[in-house]
């Protein structure tokens, strides 16, 4: 049951990431709903399962993308410090994002910076930097946004995440007429992105830079 929940989540993420920066498609929202159903089944029918904490975390992530931030926080609060520190750190990370989406930007920043300082996980460090960049963009703090984007790009191993980061850096560089940096960013999008639309757009931007 939990395996199926993970499959639904993986499918939903693939759809969402292909439309990064746009509204989450209904097909992805439906799959996130299936994730929640499967996780609830794990928790209800298999209360002694070793996947219990994983189910709380995955369900919270699905609820986050569906905009159910309060319910997501309730799920995350069920996760306690145990042998698996990765699950607990991920719970702290998603809790911070929920706080941000509920309008508590400063609390989210403080929690993410604290997690960034304490974690040894490169994956979590990368996600913290990326989310801090998003929050600082919303707060119109461009310098901090660029710092966190560049920091995230240095530590992440995830190709999809790299393409998102380089896309944002390329756009900033292009708008500042820093075409050398923008060119590097668009080439990295082509190397890492899963989205055909983004790859085609990156090729068009490279042609535009060459003309300039």
- What is the tens place of the pLDDT at every residue in 45-78? 999 999 999 999 999 999 999 999 999 999 999 9
Percent of the chain with pLDDT over 70: 97
* pTM for this predicted structure: 0.85
- 56 token code pair: 């709380």
Per-residue pLDDT, 19: 77
pLDDT at 192: 82
Identify the residue with better confidence: 18 or 191.
191
Cα pseudo-dihedral 170, 172, 178, 180, rounded to 10: -10
pLDDT digits (tens, 9 = 90+) for 135-177: 999 999 988 999 999 899 888 888 877 888 888 889 888 988 8
Looking at residue 106, its pLDDT comes to: 95
Statement: residue 17 has pLDDT above 90: no
- Kindly give, in sequence order, each residue whose CB lies less than 8 Å from that of residue 85, ignoring residues fewer than 6 positions away: none
Model confidence at 4, pLDDT cuts 50, 70, 90, reads very high
Which long-range contacts link 86-92 to residues 24+ away (Cβ below 8 Å)?
86/121, 86/124, 87/53, 87/54, 87/57, 89/115, 89/119, 89/121, 89/124, 90/57, 90/124, 91/56, 91/57, 91/60
pLDDT digits (tens, 9 = 90+) for 120-135: 999 999 999 999 999 9
Asked if the model's pLDDT at residue 194 lies above 90, the reply is no
Residue 38 to residue 16: CA distance in whole angstroms: 20
pLDDT band at 82 (very low <50, low <70, confident <90, very high): low
- Cα dihedral 179/170/137/92 (nearest 10): -150
The mean predicted confidence, pLDDT, of the chain is: 91
pLDDT (average), residues 38-43? 97
Confidence band, pLDDT 50/70/90 cuts, at residue 198: confident
Complete DSSP assignment for 158-193: -HHHHHHHHHHHHHHHHHTT-HHHHHHHHHHHHHH-
């Amino acid at each position: 049951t939990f395996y199926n929940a993970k499959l639904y989540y993986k499918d939903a993420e693939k759809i969402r990431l292909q439309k990064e920066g746009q509204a989450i498609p209904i097909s992805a929202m439906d799959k996130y709903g299936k994730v929640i159903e499967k996780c609830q089944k794990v928790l209800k029918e298999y209360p002694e399962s070793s996947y219990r904490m994983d189910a709380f975390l995955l369900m919270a992530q699905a609820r986050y993308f569906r905009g159910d931030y309060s319910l997501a926080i309730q799920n995350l609060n069920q996760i306690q410090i145990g042998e698996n520190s990765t699950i607990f750190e991920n719970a702290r990370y998603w809790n911070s994002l929920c706080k941000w989406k509920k309008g508590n930007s400063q609390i989210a920043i403080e929690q993410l910076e604290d997690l960034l300082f304490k974690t040894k996980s490169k994956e979590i460090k990368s996600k913290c930097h990326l989310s801090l960049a998003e929050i600082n963009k919303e707060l119109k703090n461009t310098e901090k946004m660029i710092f966190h984007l560049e920091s995230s790009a240095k530590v992440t191993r995830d190709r999809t995440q790299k393409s998102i980061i380089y896309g944002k850096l390329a756009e900033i560089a292009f708008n500042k007429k820093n075409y050398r940096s923008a060119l590097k960013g668009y080439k990295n999008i082509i190397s890492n992105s899963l989205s055909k639309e983004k790859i085609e757009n990156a090729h068009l931007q490279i042609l535009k830079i060459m003309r300039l």
